[in-house]
Amino acid sequence: MNCEKIKEKVSIRTVLESFNLFPVKENHKTAFYFALDREEKIPSFSVDFVKNKAFDFGTGKSYDIISIVQQMNKCSVSEALKYLEKFDFSVQKNHYFEETIQLKNYSIIKVNEIQHPALIQYLKSRKVYEQKDLVKEIYYELNGKKYFGIGFFNNSSGVETRNKYSKICLGKKDVTLIKNDFIESREIIIFEGFFDYLTFKNLEKKEKSISDYLILNSTAMLFKVEETLKDYDRISLFLDNDANGNATKEIIQKKYNNVEDCSLLYWGFKDLNEWGCTRK
């Protein structure tokens, strides 16, 4: 694949994460990182996720994914392209723009119940520690370095992996569909991310659910369940209060009957989990 094709297909966020580089400040379109080539206290490396480019305000230099790899690995363009071939990528293009990219140069070392103090604290900070049995403690190796995080499995055995500093998918990206254990449900509740699902389970407490649950793990995964959703008589949406969430809501509302938008519950917050973090 040539340079231009790779620049279009591989996410700059994923490339930076492969070097264990994560945002200091971010929103859904842009972020600031610390510089690639020097120590600094105030981040000056600006990344535009939509344009898939970056700019270093300290040096005035612009970057794309190839030049980032060149900078980090001190290598030629051809060597950078070879490095980028490690990424197993697929892009779902749609009018609300979202990329779905997975890393394949990784290995999962161990899967545990949640035990590590840092992960326990992270779950507590997100106010979902009570639901720790619904996630796993994942130890993995990426680009020769070892990491750990909170893991949530999808329907293709990929793992949505989170910790305080990282947000990646190990393996194939997919939705997570959780069927009701007691009845064949005609109702389904849809979330964007698994922290929203865990927050909802807090709200349910000990009441026996009559619904199935669908965690998209990315709004770009909606296409995978378009036929599945036809089997339900009622669809409840707990999507993010942002452009992607609103666009996904509109698509579902136009395509299916009996769709309820539940985002009014957490109006003024980005998502259900952010709202849940404010509750005592």
Model pLDDT, residue 104? 56
Q: Where is average pLDDT lowest: 24-38, 188-202, 249-263?
A: 24-38
SS (H, E, C) the chain: CCHHHHHHHCCHHHHHHHCCCCCCEECCCEEEECCCCCCCCCCCEEEECCCCEEEECCCCEEECHHHHHHHHHCCCHHHHHHHHCCEEEECCCCCCCCCEEEECCEEEEEEECCCCHHHHHHHHHCCCHHHHHHCEEEEEEECCEEEEEEEEECCCCCEEEECCCCEEEECCCCCEEECCCCCCCCEEEEECCHHHHHHHHHHHCCCCCCCEEEECCCHHHHHHHCCHHHHCCEEEEECCCCHHHHHHHHHHHHHCCCEEECHHHHCCCCCHHHHHCCCC
> Tell me: the pLDDT tens digits for 100-111?
344 556 789 999
**Residue 184 above 60 pLDDT?**
yes
> Tell me: the pLDDT tens digits for 104-138?
567 899 999 999 999 999 999 999 999 999 999 99
Q: Looking at residues 216-228, what average pLDDT do you find? A: 87
Fold category of 3-85 in CATH: DNA Primase; Chain A (3.90.580)
Segments making up each domain of the chain, as ranges: 3-85, 106-170, 176-276
Share of the chain above pLDDT 90, in %: 52
Intrachain domains 3-85 and 176-276 with the same fold: no
Q: Residue 167 — pLDDT band, cuts 50, 70, 90?
A: confident
Model pLDDT, residue 183? 81
Model pLDDT, residue 94? 35
Q: Provide the mean pLDDT of the chain.
A: 86
Model pLDDT, residue 90? 40
More confident residue, 143 or 48: 48
Model pLDDT, residue 91? 37
**Residue 263 above 50 pLDDT?**
yes
* CATH class of residue range 176-276: alpha beta
